[in-house]
Amino acid sequence: MQMMSIASGSSGNCIYIGSEETHILIDAGIAAKRIESGLNDIGLKLEDIHALFVTHEHSDHIAGLGVLSRRHGIPVYTARETITELKKMKTLGAVPPEVYHDVQADEEVQVGDLTVHPFAISHDAARPLAYRVSCGEKSVGVVTDLGYYSDYIVENMKGMQAVLLESNHDINMLQTGPYPYYLKRRIMGDHGHLSNESAGRLLCEVLHDQMKYIMLGHLSKENNYDELAYETVRLEITMGDTPYQGSDFPIAVARRDTPSALLTI
């Protein structure tokens, strides 16, 4: 089982997850050409993609959806409420209605030998979802765009061998930065984004001996930077109520402008 971030950040998101025989994308928030370039780097083409799973309808998660569905016929899986919003968006162009397949939280979808488990998250969108993807005994997750985490989120993340987790902002940078007050409140609210500190604390709840990779994603360009997210999360793990140190796990920051390494689980 393999996983790669093609792009992750407040400007665009696209994650590849695959096995030897099945290949899917989580979100398509960048140009189709960039997605194709990222896939080419690992020996794949857009024609090899069996499904696109969308977390929610914000542009940084769906900008390339129209081209992928029209030109390549890639099926799109997301919540029914999200599909309703996508159908209103003229910026996507003409999307064939038959490409849409609705999914619901906690109802698994089988795509080839991959089992995709959507679970609900809190964000200012119609019906946002995170995804856990399993192949046999292995599983990985993409968990971004959530204002807070709950016991339900923790339970859905337990046992993952790799995760791309939102580490959107540094609280101090956001509070003292140039954003207007209403936007700061939105980002820090229950339907906003996870801070570096919250990401570290959430990881403390789900770390286990078989965790192989942690990717920090969806970083804000204005209110965060790679080294700060990395060091904050490492410190939270070290200081948390766990038997682990921050140095016990490979932690990387997924970039908005370049693909990550291809992780093999």
- Which domains are assigned to the chain? 2-259 (3.60.15.10)
250 touches 214 (CB < 8 A): yes
Whole-model pTM: value is 0.97
pLDDT value at residue 74: 97
pLDDT value at residue 184: 98
With a CB cutoff of 8 Å and minimum separation 6, the contacts of 231 are none
Q: 15: closest CA among 33, 37, 38, 44?
A: 38
175-193 mean pLDDT: 97
Strand partners, 46: none
pLDDT value at residue 227: 98
For the segment 132-183, what is each residue's pLDDT rounded down to a tens digit? Answer: 999 999 999 999 999 999 999 999 999 999 999 999 999 999 999 999 999 9
CA angle 115, 121, 125 (to 5 degrees): 110
Report the distance separating Cα 66 and Cα 74, nearest Å. 10
